[in-house]
Amino acid sequence: MRVNIGTLDRALRTVLGAALLVLAFGGVLPALSAGAPKWIAAAAGLILLATAALRLCPLYAIFGIRTCKL
């Protein structure tokens, strides 16, 4: 598959993914301290970090979206 995530998109995914992981496991917000919300935030954070690292978003590929110049 071809790369479809640009530099700005990659940076935003990295920051948001890391923030979600910190919120899920850092105990900052009581709403995300346990249960399903914690694991949903953690999963979303991991997905965002993985797509940023691989520079490939499967949803972008399905819909034909590209934020990179390549």
Residues in the chain, total: 70
Q: Is residue 70 part of a domain?
A: no
Is the pLDDT at 1 greater than 80, yes or no? no
| Number of neighbours of residue 11 by Cβ within 10 angstroms | 12
Q: What is the pLDDT of residues 10-64, one digit of tens each?
A: 999 999 999 999 999 988 888 888 899 999 999 999 999 999 999 999 999 999 9
Q: Is residue 55 part of a domain?
A: yes
Element (H, E) at 9: helix 7-26
The span from the CA of 13 to the CA of 7, in Å, is: 10
Q: Average pLDDT of 1-18?
A: 94
How many distinct structural domains can be found in the chain? 1
pLDDT reported for residue 40: 95
Q: What's the pTM?
A: 0.89
Q: Is residue 54 part of a domain?
A: yes
Q: What is the pLDDT of residues 14-28, one digit of tens each?
A: 999 999 999 999 888
